[in-house]
Structure 1
Amino acid sequence: MNETTNFNDILKKSFLNDFMFGNLSVIDILLGLLTAFIAGALIYIVYKYTYRGVLYSPSFNATLLVMTMITCLVIMTISTNVVLSLGMVGALSIVRFRTAIKDPMDVVFMFWAIAAGISSGAGLYFLTFIGAGVIGSVLIVLSRKKHTDTLYLLVIHYTEEAADEVRKELQNLDHTLKSKIVRKNVIEQTSEVRLKIDNTAFMSRLNEIEGIRDVSLVQYNGDYAV
């Protein structure tokens, strides 16, 4: 019985000494934060270069850089103290983020920032740089492949007399009807059109049709709500 007790005491002491209170040198801390900063800066540049949404948010992009460094700091903190790591799990489980993410690609960049922070905080510097280079290259290639054309919303207000001419003009475009509202003699039609950059000569032709009130063209990211 005493031997068992002594063995348990030895095991507890070993656990406490080896895992409870670890130490990080100043060099390790600076290297981790520097690696996180470089990876976050790369994420910042790639996000700005590949963004194809309606309204670019500099604050969200800056958040990605800072998030990488904060995640690195959290990982370094919990790696030195097992009690803190268990407490951090409980603390983070009650955090709720209620900011709406409209573009699915924003979620990808957020996970990328968190993963880069985790790997740099764990001291896996080469993994952080290699992963950042590969992921950044993939995102740049996908952004070029996907956005050869640009999506727009075409909004036209016209009278019943111009309906046939509008229909003929839209047949020459790659368009999809999104909504059509009739108010007495005025029709509001919203269509999704896919255009090459600066290929908007059709708007002048539409505007010259008798019965057209106005023509509007707005770039958007594919999300449409009625």
Structure 2
Amino acid sequence: LIRLPLAALLGAALALRPRRKGTPPRSAQVVQTQIILSVVAAVIMLVVGSSLARAFGIVGAANLIRYRSKIEDPKDAVVMLSALSVGLATGVGLYALAVASTAFLVLALGIIESFEPKTGKSFTLKVKVGEHTDELRPKIEAILTRHNLKHEIRTSSDEEVCYDVNVPFEMQTDNVTNALLKLDPEGHATVDWSDKKKKEK
């Protein structure tokens, strides 16, 4: 079972290799995928051994994942491949390998994902508070800051201000909306949240 940690170590050495000056930073998702893929490849080779039939079975199943699954994060595709390799190991009776590789992959994914920056959902926020909305920008931004929302001004006019806002996945925007609506005592304010990803599609 030393093969799995060794595969992870060698994969990490390749994924975390020094970057040349002037080159763009590597995507965290790609780095994680390269490390886990090394482990998955080791598990698959242990399952396949010298069996040609098993090799063809894995290729067919991997193609099914590739062309039938809509996956945006490359790491998710590798986790699916991991599940495939563990299932194959169990199916051919390599129970110790299946259990050990599952435990190692869970540990490796836990360590790798602990370094991921916290992300959230991207929204376009439009706020209208009467004819002098632009004058209320400091108060609007104070509310966003108080709720720990990362924001960036997009457009600003007398009648409307628009922001790009990053909202944590577990957070509801109701409290923020209510706070923004209270900026207009007459009750004419409007607050609109639109999902940027859906808008781009």
TM-score category, normalised to shorter length: 0.3 to 0.5
Highest CA radius of gyration, 1 or 2?
1
